[in-house]
Structure formats: structure tokens, C-alpha cells
């Protein structure tokens, strides 16, 4: 979260509104209509239900207060505008207060299919529908509280828990594989890859296993972890902070699993 970015977030006016250009609204339109065309076959039921509640506009980027109004009514969350990248401390604090950080920029057309930084499409379309779900909303807040109580070294391990659930989580449902991770849901290429590629490893989620699994932010993921339903996150949320820290100590003692990719110095995995 502390690395450099070429994007600059927009500043809202005194009413909390952001002036988006016609070109930026067009990018939103193309992104959301493309993802909506496959959402029923790829996303979990909980995401689809949340998407219906948000009723996101397709012709323009929504204002954050529009999204916050729905989130607050459903689960007490709201969107918090932030710069393109924020530090871990601020990230954890916001989540612990049920404030979801949203970088107020949208990707360029050159990075239409994938970008490393979380833009407003990733945050609003990818994550906010599930923030209407009590289990997902409570887990996300609990994760923020875990991070506030963690050391710098422990936060590196905690980042993997967020990555393999909130960002790149899958569900193994009676309907087949479905996506709940926002990093997948906001990327058409990753959606197809995560659900259909025969070389992908898909594993039932065990917290200790997740904490030991390395990842890279700039590639399609070689491994995904599966729950059966979003409410399975309740079992992780109910772990005491001491329990999570004990699991992190176990992960540190056991060491990381061998990377399933070529390691790079820019990776967040180490």
C-alpha cells in the first residue's frame, strides 16, 4: 500500500460530490456493463443480492454518498474517500470504524483489463455489494481491528488473509464455483481464469494455510482458497485477536509455502 502510483485521486466539492469527466464516466460504463453481462454465472448469490440493493448507475461513476446511504442503512458502513494509496495503519483504522476506503480515481484505458492499484471501480463494484451482507461487513471490520493490534511483521501475514478472502476468495457452492473476492469480480480476465482454468489450484480455506501462502499482486493467481458460503467468514471473525496472533506465530515458525510463481522484489508476498 505504500508503493508509488501514477494515479491522483480527485477531491470532492463542499457537497461531497466529485466532478468526473465524460471519458471517465465512459470507462465506468464499459467496465460495469461488461461485468454485469457475466455476473449471474460468476458471482455468488450474496454479491448479486448486494448489487441489486446498491442499484449502481451504468452511465456514470456513482457519487460516494449515494453508495454510503445504502451501505449505512444495511450494515452501518460508509465509503471514505482516500488518496490513490494509503498506509496499512490508516487502512486498518478505517476498516475498524466501518469506513471503506475508496480511492477516487478510475483506471486509464491503457489499464482497462487490470491494474495493480485499487480504483473506484474495483472498490465500488468489486467490494461494496458484499458490504451490504452482515457476515462480510462484520468480517471486514474485525479484520481492521486485527490489523490495529498487529506489529509490522504480523501485518505482512495478515495481508494474506485479506488477499485470499476479501480480494480473491472463491465459494464452492451447490451451483458450482462462485466468486466473492472483489479482485476477481472487478476483472473479467481473472474471473474467467479463477473459475475455469484447469491449472489453477483451488483449496478449502484453512487460516494457517492462508497465512503461509505467498502471492503476487501483478499476476493471475495460481492458487485460490474456497469457502462454501459468505457466512463462513463468521468463523474467522469469531477468532480472538490472541488466536489470530497465535496462528501467525505458527506460520512464522513453520515458514512460508514455496512460491508457485517467479518471485519478484516488488511482490507483497515477502
**Angle, in degrees to the nearest 10, between helices 241-254 and 134-148:** 70
pLDDT digits (tens, 9 = 90+) for 88-147: 999 999 999 999 999 999 999 988 887 788 999 999 999 999 999 999 999 999 999 999
d(CA 50, CA 75) in angstroms, rounded, equals 11
The 10s digit of each residue's pLDDT in 158-185 is 999 999 999 999 999 999 999 999 999 9
Is the CB of residue 167 less than 8 Å from the CB of residue 174? no
- Residue partners of 60: CB distance under 8 A and separation at least 6: 20, 25, 28, 29
29 annotated to bind ligand: no
Q: Which pLDDT band holds residue 5 (cuts at 50, 70, 90)?
A: confident
What are the pLDDT digits (tens) for 234-244?
999 998 888 99
The domains of the chain, with CATH numbers, are 23-254 (1.10.800.10)
Q: In the predicted model, is pLDDT for residue 269 greater than 80?
A: no
The values of phi and psi at residue 215, to 5°, are: -145, 165
201-204 vs 170-173, strand pairing mode:
unpaired
Q: Is 167 annotated as a binding residue?
A: yes
- Is the pLDDT score of 218 beyond 60? yes
Give per-residue pLDDT as tens, 32-71.
Answer: 999 999 999 999 999 999 999 999 999 999 999 999 999 9
Instruction: In whole angstroms, give the CA distance from residue 137 to residue 43.
Output: 17
Ligand-binding site membership of 127 (annotated): yes
Angle between helices 88-96 and 152-162 (to 10 degrees): 60
Q: What integer best gives the mean pLDDT of the chain?
A: 93
* pLDDT level of residue 264 (50, 70, 90 thresholds): low
Amino acid at each position: 500500500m505504500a508503493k508509488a502510483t501514477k494515479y491522483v485521486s480527485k477531491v470532492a466539492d463542499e457537497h461531497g460530490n466529485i466532478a468526473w469527466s465524460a471519458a471517465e464516466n465512459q470507462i465506468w460504463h464499459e467496465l460495469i456493463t461488461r461485468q454485469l453481462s457475466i455476473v449471474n454465472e460468476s458471482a455468488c448469490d450474496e454479491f448479486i443480492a448486494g448489487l441489486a440493493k446498491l442499484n449502481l448507475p451504468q452511465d456514470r461513476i456513482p457519487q460516494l454518498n449515494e453508495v454510503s446511504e445504502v451501505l449505512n442503512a444495511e450494515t452501518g458502513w460508509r465509503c471514505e474517500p482516500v488518496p490513490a494509496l494509503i498506509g496499512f495503519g490508516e487502512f486498518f483504522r478505517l476498516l475498524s470504524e466501518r469506513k471503506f476506503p475508496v480511492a477516487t480515481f478510475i483506471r486509464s484505458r491503457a489499464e482497462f483489463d487490470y491494474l495493480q492499484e485499487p480504483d473506484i471501480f474495483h472498490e465500488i463494484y468489486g467490494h461494496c455489494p458484499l458490504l451490504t451482507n452482515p457476515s462480510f461487513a462484520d468480517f471486514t471490520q474485525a479484520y481492521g481491528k486485527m490489523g490495529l493490534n498487529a506489529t509490522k511483521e504480523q501485518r505482512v501475514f495478515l495481508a494474506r488473509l485479506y488477499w485470499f478472502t476479501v480480494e480473491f476468495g472463491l465459494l464452492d457452492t451447490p451451483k458450482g464455483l462462485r466468486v466473492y473476492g472483489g479482485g476477481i469480480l472487478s476483472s473479467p480476465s481473472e474471473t474467467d481464469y479463477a473459475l475455469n482454468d484447469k491449472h489453477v489450484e483451488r483449496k478449502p480455506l484453512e487460516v494457517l494455510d492462508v497465512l503461509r501462502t505467498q502471492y503476487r499482486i501483478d499476476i493471475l493467481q495460481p492458487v485460490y482458497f474456497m469457502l462454501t458460503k459468505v457466512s463462513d467468514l463468521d468463523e474467522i471473525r469469531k477468532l480472538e485477536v490472541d488466536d489470530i496472533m497465535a496462528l501467525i506465530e505458527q506460520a512464522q515458525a513453520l515458514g512460508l509455502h514455496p512460491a508457485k510463481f517467479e518471485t519478484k522484489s516488488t511482490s507483497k508476498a515477502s
